[in-house]
Amino acid sequence: MRSLALIASLAVTTACSPPQVQRFPAKPPNCALEVIKSLPQRPYIEIETLQLPSLESIRDVLYHVQERACRDGADAIYAPKGGRVYSYAIALKWNDAPPVPATPPTGPPPAEAPAVPSPPAPPSP
């Protein structure tokens, strides 16, 4: 009975714990951020959602979020416009698979072409 209570309490604790936040290497405060107008088709991770004070231009949005997004390692900012203002922005990190390094050829190196024998010298008179 005691073990059942312990298992139940662990299940509740695990279910209520916040998700683990991924951390990425910080970038310089004025790093280049891609500003995107719609969620991309390429794989990404949402780093965080940043609340905004009802800004009217994407330039103002970038001004407000750039330092924090760069510090958190973001690659892009997605800020949907709700009516006439931007009320939030999402810092995104691209999650593309790293390029596969070229693998060296396996097996023995290609053989050199066999030497072609020289034709016999003509008989001398």
95 or 2, higher pLDDT? 95
> Span 47-65, mean pLDDT?
94
pLDDT of residue 110: 60
pLDDT of residue 12: 47
pLDDT of residue 18: 47
- Local confidence band at 23 (pLDDT 50, 70, 90 cut-offs): confident
Per residue in 106-118, pLDDT (tens digit) is 666 666 655 556 6
The mean pLDDT value of the chain amounts to 78
51, β-bridge pairs = 88
What residues contact residue 44 under an 8 Å CB cut-off, 6+ apart?
75, 76, 92, 93, 94, 95
Pick the CATH number of 34-94 from 3.40.1000, 3.40.50, 3.40.1710, 3.30.1660: 3.30.1660
- The pTM score is 0.60
Task: Sketch the domain layout of the chain as residue ranges.
Answer: 34-94
